[in-house]
């Protein structure tokens, strides 16, 4: 249909082979080849998406069935029976030696419909595994090891998976250590890293700081999310952000995961003006808090638990409409973490105020130069327990704590 009376020959060393007639396929490098490929794969995609008998994986009310990039195709199926159903529907001959199945849950089968069941798969250069430690070892740690052999090639190979995979603090430090040991030829470091990464005009050599590079990657991801929030690629993050109050609200929170975004801007800090939700220092069982019912009632900041004079702590009047039993049960747990979080924020701010150092925050209580008459944490905790449990009347907040907090000026303001 596309070719007629086509002849080819093979280049040999030396000379050329005799001409022969092409009876199937197309010439190598012919521009019509990718068009035929796209036509075939698009039909495959349309079949899988449109046929309702093929059930995909549903995440946050959205069904995912297929993901394609060039000749790499991943199909998401709900259960084992869907494998045979899909093969019968698309009626394509698969190269089973190149096909693999990665089960989400435990699976005792070694093969399903002659396709191997494996604990991990590689897609577009990234190895996927249900074990997050194993996943980081394969994608990050192995490449960091390669950096020791060839720094330039190792860094370029390491950057790619960092766009898709979590990189732990330990691996960030390890990569930085390799880079700066290379600069100093594994000898004593006579100049601080913070100086070496600066521009030439400021006395630096523009050395690569791997931690800053990871931060840049995260900021670029956030910018892409803000520009295309409805994209399929951001469906899962958007649903997770929604459960925590929405992305716009998270940008205002003192959440550790968003620190890279927040350092782009200049923020004033105030312990009693910090966000109550998704705060890295107000936690229960090592997890930050978020209550959608409180959020909807306008309780967003620690300051919302204080009256206009900051001298009493109360539960907002709007919370009276909530279920009292649930409120009582939750507030008893929250009382301790609220008090501990306030102490950490106050201590961190005091440490920053007196030393000007940010990299060591949050600090331990004994490291903060506090006045001798400052109320101890135990009293704050016991007081908060009494305050935060549901009450109709206001309960006085300790004046000494208030005076200590309000004695600090916020950074960035006239002092």
Split into its structural domains, the chain has a count of 3
- 358 and 307 in a common domain: yes
pLDDT over 50 at 124, yes or no = yes
pLDDT score for 21:
84
Q: Is residue 237 part of a domain?
A: no
- 398 and 275 in a common domain: yes
- Domain-ending residue, one of 126, 158, 180: 126
pLDDT score for 390:
33
Q: Is residue 14 part of a domain?
A: no
Alpha carbon distance 408, 415 (integer Å): 10
- Domain-ending residue, one of 191, 208, 223: 223
**Of 223 and 281, the one with more pLDDT:** 223
Average pLDDT of the segment spanning 277-287: 70
- 387 and 320 in a common domain: yes
- 369 and 293 in a common domain: yes
Q: Is residue 178 part of a domain?
A: yes
- 45 by DSSP, 3-state: which? helix
269 confidence band (pLDDT: 50, 70, 90): very low
Among 80-89, 112-121, 132-141, 258-267, the range scoring the smallest mean pLDDT is 258-267
Among 142-151, 160-169, 241-250, 312-321, the range scoring the smallest mean pLDDT is 312-321
What would the pLDDT profile of 321-380 be if each residue is shown by its tens digit? 344 344 444 444 444 444 445 555 555 555 555 555 544 444 343 333 333 333 333 333
pLDDT score for 345:
52
pLDDT score for 339:
47
Residues 6+ positions from 146 with CB-CB distance below 8 Å = 153, 154, 157, 158
Query: Sign of the C-alpha dihedral, residues 190, 195, 197, 203?
Result: negative
pLDDT score for 233:
85
Whole-model pTM: value is: 0.56
Among 101-105, 112-116, 310-314, the range scoring the smallest mean pLDDT is 310-314
252 confidence band (pLDDT: 50, 70, 90): low
pLDDT score for 302:
65
Half-sphere exposure of 208 (CA within 13 A, CB side): 18
Average pLDDT of the segment spanning 161-190: 88
Mean residue pLDDT of the chain comes to 70
Q: Is residue 13 part of a domain?
A: no
The three-state DSSP-derived secondary structure of 371-408 is CCCCCCHHHHHHHHHHHHCCCCCCEECCHHHHHHHHCC
Q: Which domain covers residue 77, as residue numbers?
A: 32-126
β-sheet bridge partners, residue 168: none
- 136 and 104 in a common domain: no
DSSP, res 321 = G
- 143 and 81 in a common domain: no
Q: Is residue 145 part of a domain?
A: yes
Q: Is residue 170 part of a domain?
A: yes
> End-to-end CA distance of the chain, in Å?
82
Average pLDDT of the segment spanning 182-200: 85
- 335 and 289 in a common domain: yes
Q: Is residue 11 part of a domain?
A: no
pLDDT over 80 at 100, yes or no = yes
pLDDT score for 262:
47
pLDDT score for 106:
84
Average pLDDT of the segment spanning 277-295: 72
* Inter-residue long-range contacts of 25-33, CB under 8 Å, 24+ positions, other chains counted: 26/2, 32/2
- 105 and 170 in a common domain: no
- 272 and 402 in a common domain: yes
- 162 and 101 in a common domain: no
Nearest of 199, 183, 192, 191 to residue 147 by alpha carbon:
183
pLDDT over 50 at 404, yes or no = no
- Domain-ending residue, one of 126, 158, 178: 126
Among 83-92, 104-113, 142-151, 383-392, the range scoring the smallest mean pLDDT is 383-392
| 8 Å CB contact between 116 and 101 | yes
Burial of 340 (0-12, 13-18, 19+ CB in 10 A): middle
What would the pLDDT profile of 205-249 be if each residue is shown by its tens digit? 888 888 888 888 888 888 888 888 888 888 888 888 887 777 777
pLDDT over 50 at 389, yes or no = no
pLDDT over 70 at 37, yes or no = yes
- 287 and 216 in a common domain: no
Q: Is residue 241 part of a domain?
A: no
- 151 by DSSP, 3-state: which? helix
- 92 and 151 in a common domain: no
305 confidence band (pLDDT: 50, 70, 90): low
Average pLDDT of the segment spanning 166-189: 88
| 8 Å CB contact between 277 and 245 | yes
């Amino acid at each position: 249909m596309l070719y007629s009376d086509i002849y080819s020959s093979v280049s040999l060393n030396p000379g050329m082979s005799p001409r022969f007639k092409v009876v199937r396929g197309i010439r190598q490098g012919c521009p019509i080849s990718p068009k035929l490929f796209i036509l075939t794969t698009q039909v495959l995609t349309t079949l899988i998406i449109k046929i309702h008998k093929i059930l995909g994986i549903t995440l946050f009310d959205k069904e995912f069935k297929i993901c394609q990039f060039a000749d790499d195709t991943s199909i998401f199926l709900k259960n084992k029976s869907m494998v045979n159903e899909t093969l019968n529907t698309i009626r394509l001959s698969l190269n089973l030696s190149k096909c693999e199945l990665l089960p989400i849950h435990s699976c005792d089968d070694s093969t399903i419909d002659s396709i191997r069941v494996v604990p991990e798969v590689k897609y577009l250069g990234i190895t996927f595994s249900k074990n997050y430690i194993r996943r980081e070892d394969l994608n990050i740690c192995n490449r960091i090891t390669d950096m020791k052999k060839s720094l330039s090639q190792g860094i370029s190979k390491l950057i790619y998976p960092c766009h898709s995979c979590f990189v732990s603090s330990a691996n960030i430090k390890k990569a930085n250590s390799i880079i700066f040991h290379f600069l100093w030829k594994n000898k004593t470091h006579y100049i601080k890293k913070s100086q070496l990464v600066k521009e030439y005009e400021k006395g630096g050599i523009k050395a690569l700081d791997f931690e800053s590079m990871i931060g840049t990657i995260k900021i670029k991801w956030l910018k892409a999310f803000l520009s295309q929030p409805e994209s399929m690629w951001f469906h899962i993050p958007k649903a997770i952000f929604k459960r925590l109050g929405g992305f716009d609200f998270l940008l205002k929170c003192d959440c550790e995961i968003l620190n890279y975004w927040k350092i782009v801007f200049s923020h004033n800090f105030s312990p009693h003006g910090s966000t109550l939700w998704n705060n890295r220092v107000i936690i229960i069982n090592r997890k930050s808090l978020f209550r959608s019912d409180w959020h909807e009632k306008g309780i967003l900041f620690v300051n919302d638990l204080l009256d206009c004079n900051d001298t009493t702590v109360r539960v907002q009047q709007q919370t009276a409409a909530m279920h009292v039993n649930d409120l009582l049960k939750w507030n008893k747990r929250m009382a301790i973490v609220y008090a501990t979080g306030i102490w950490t924020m106050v201590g961190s701010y005091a440490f920053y105020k007196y030393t000007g150092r940010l990299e060591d925050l949050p600090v331990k209580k004994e490291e903060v130069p506090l006045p001798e008459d400052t109320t101890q944490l135990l009293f704050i905790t016991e007081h908060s327990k009494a305050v935060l449990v549901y009450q109709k009347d206001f309960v006085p907040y300790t004046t000494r704590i208030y005076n200590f907090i309000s004695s600090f000026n916020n950074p960035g303001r006239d002092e």
